[in-house]
């Protein structure tokens, strides 16, 4: 690093970031009808060094009671015991340590989602732009039944598919 400084070569280093703005959405189906939901109020923290993606860290906190599908009846059902059970599990959390570089600013994070007190692996694939305010654009698939979401009568995958697509776009700023 000293040699790089003496020679005038730029050296990247790990930086801590917090979410400046962003969106987190999910796509589901109910009896063949596709719907989109969002999680307003989620927060994301990132530690990243582009020269050492294997040392990166990503943490996302998701307030489940904020789930919004623009359908009050569905939103109420999602908050109930058969789905998110927000009275008992108010927040979901995704965390990943270490990214795999895929080339062209694309990465894969083999992280863990904790939802309803259950922890399972979930892969997030994403692009991450550089600069002072990096932007992460990613997607993942969550198997809802692995977390007991939509159990009981709702477990029928012909009514609600097991796989739920999740997408995010987050603009970061340096952590204070």
Q: What confidence tens digit (pLDDT) does each residue in 103-121 have?
A: 999 999 999 999 999 999 9
- Taking CA atoms, 54 is separated from 32, 47, 144, 158, 168, in Å, by 40, 11, 28, 39, 21
Of the candidates 137, 59, 53, 62, the residue with the CA atom closest to the CA atom of residue 98: 53
Torsion angles phi and psi, residue 153, rounded to 5: -60, -25
Q: Would you state the pLDDT for residue 13? A: 62
For the chain, how big is the Rg over CA atoms in Å? 18
**Which pLDDT belongs to residue 153?**
86
The pLDDT profile of the chain, 176 residues, written as one tens digit per residue, is 433 443 333 334 679 999 999 999 999 999 889 999 999 999 999 999 999 999 999 999 999 999 999 999 999 999 999 999 999 999 999 999 999 999 999 999 999 999 999 999 999 999 999 888 999 999 999 999 999 999 888 999 999 999 999 999 999 999 99
Both tokens of residue 125? 């694939």
Residue 114 to residue 97: CA distance in whole angstroms: 15
Count CA atoms within 13 Å of residue 20 on its CB side: 13
- CA dist 21 → 75, 139, 160, 168 (Å): 23, 17, 31, 11
The whole-chain average pLDDT of the chain stands at: 92
Q: Compute the distance between CA of residue 172 and CA of residue 19 in angstroms, rounded to an integer.
A: 5
Task: Please give the class, per CATH, of domain 13-174.
Answer: mainly beta
C-alpha 70/C-alpha 153 separation (Å) is 23
């Amino acid at each position: 690093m000293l040699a790089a400084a003496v020679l005038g070569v730029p050296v990247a280093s790990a930086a801590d970031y917090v979410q400046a703005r962003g969106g987190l959405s999910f796509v589901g189906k109910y009896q063949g009808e596709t719907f989109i939901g969002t999680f307003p109020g989620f927060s994301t923290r990132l530690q990243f060094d582009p020269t050492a993606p294997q040392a990166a860290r990503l943490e996302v906190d998701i307030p489940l009671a904020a789930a919004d599908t623009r359908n009050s009846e569905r939103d109420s059902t999602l908050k109930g015991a058969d789905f998110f059970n927000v009275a008992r599990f108010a927040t979901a959390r995704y965390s990943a340590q270490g990214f795999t570089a895929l080339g062209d600013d694309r990465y894969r994070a083999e992280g863990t989602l904790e939802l309803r007190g259950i922890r399972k692996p979930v892969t997030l694939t994403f692009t991450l732009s550089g600069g002072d305010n990096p932007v992460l654009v990613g997607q993942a698939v969550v198997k809802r039944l692995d977390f007991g979401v939509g159990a009981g009568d709702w477990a029928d995958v012909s009514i609600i598919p097991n796989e739920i697509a999740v997408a995010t776009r987050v603009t970061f700023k340096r952590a204070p």
